[in-house]
Amino acid sequence: MGWAIALHGGAGDIPLSLPAERRAPREATLRHCLELGVAALKANRPPLDVVELVVRELENSPCFNAGKGSVLTTNGTVEMEACIMDGNTKKCGAVSGLSTVVNAISLARLVMERTPHIYLAFDGAEAFAREQVKTMGVETAHSSHFITTENVERLKNAKEAKRVQIDYTQPIKGAIPSTKGDSQIGTVGCVAVDGHGILASATSTGGLVNKMVGRIGDTPIIGAGTYANSYCAVSATGKGESIIQATVARDVAALMEYKGLSLKEAAAYVIERTPKGNVGLVAVSANGEVTMPFNTTGMFRACATEDGYSEIGIWPSGINDDLEYPNK
């Protein structure tokens, strides 16, 4: 038992040659966000607050594909989506198609708490955000706030290669190399459990580079990219279409609930069953276990538990082990 937290900044084909100047800011953001979440859990903040807080911070970082730094649709616009779920009550909220809301995850929480619905999208979600600006302090910004020059270039490369890319840019075969050899940015997510076994999950994303306008991925879909109940909390990342069809997040929980598997077994089973190169997830269980499996080259990830274990990583353990460090 005890609290635990895990977070991710996307899974994908992250080359081992990722230059240090690209790697360092992402590691720093992961570390900073982990510390923020740990401090909040130590201060007995409810897990729902903790996952929202951490995902807000990840959204605010231009390093990852959510909030500021979201990737662009084929029209060069941003369409952000997010989802949050409370494991205790199974209450949840989700949003899609946001173009001006600075913190999509907080709007998802407001949908959960202040509407009769779970999921609002596009114009209706934007209109709801505007209603909440004064009363709930929802922050909006011009779309230029979200669009980075890196992502403009990423879209250009994707269009030249005529492909829809997953939320991190894979090396393009026979085409222009991606921006300065990297652009490994991805969906962000956080799961947390407190000392009473209360769980929560949150995920936020800009989606895919060069996605069709109106495309919805796995992130906002309860049971696909995001899920929490009394057994565990899960946030997934990778190829949205594969995650939706495999109902990845719900399946981890369902395997624990219906088949009696442990968190690690359940997560490993789901990852193994999903086509290679498509998915990663972070998950915590009610009794404070953590797991962060993926079948992609890498996944930006971090976790910490009450008993003092802590890890920040990108590639499978054993590779670049210097990233993993014991916390005290």
Q: Structure tokens of 237? A: 């990342």
**Dist. CA 259–CA 135, nearest whole Å:** 45
**Of 8 and 215, which has the nearer Cβ to another protein?**
215
86 is in an annotated binding site: no
| Minimum distance, C-beta of residue 60 to another protein, in the bound complex (Å) | 25
Residues 29, 148, 169, 187: which is the catalytic one? Answer: 187
Residue 187 is a catalytic residue:
yes
CB crowding 210-224: b at 16 or more within 10 Å, else e: bbeeebbbbbbbbbb
| Minimum distance, C-beta of residue 242 to another protein, in the bound complex (Å) | 9
239 is in an annotated binding site: yes
| Minimum distance, C-beta of residue 245 to another protein, in the bound complex (Å) | 4
Residue 290 pairs with which residues in a beta bridge? 284
Phi, psi angles (nearest 5°) of residue 298: -155, 170
| Minimum distance, C-beta of residue 12 to another protein, in the bound complex (Å) | 16
174 is in an annotated binding site: no
Evaluated on CA atoms 176, 177, 178, 180, the torsion sign reads negative
**Of 115 and 327, which has the nearer Cβ to another protein?**
115
**Of 95 and 302, which has the nearer Cβ to another protein?**
95
**Of 113 and 321, which has the nearer Cβ to another protein?**
113
CA 7 to chain centre: 7
49 is in an annotated binding site: no
Q: Give the binding site for another protein (CB under 8 A).
A: 89-92, 94, 96-97, 115-125, 127-128, 164, 211-217, 221-224, 227, 240-241, 244-247, 250-251, 254-255, 258-259
Q: Structure tokens of 241? A: 């279409």
Q: Structure tokens of 258? A: 């219906």
134 is in an annotated binding site: no
Q: Find where tokens 């509407």 sit.
A: 115
**Dist. CA 159–CA 33, nearest whole Å:** 33
Give SS3 for 81: strand
Binding-site annotation, residues: 215-218, 237-240
Q: Catalytic residue positions?
A: 187
Binding-site annotation, residues for substrate: 215-218, 237-240
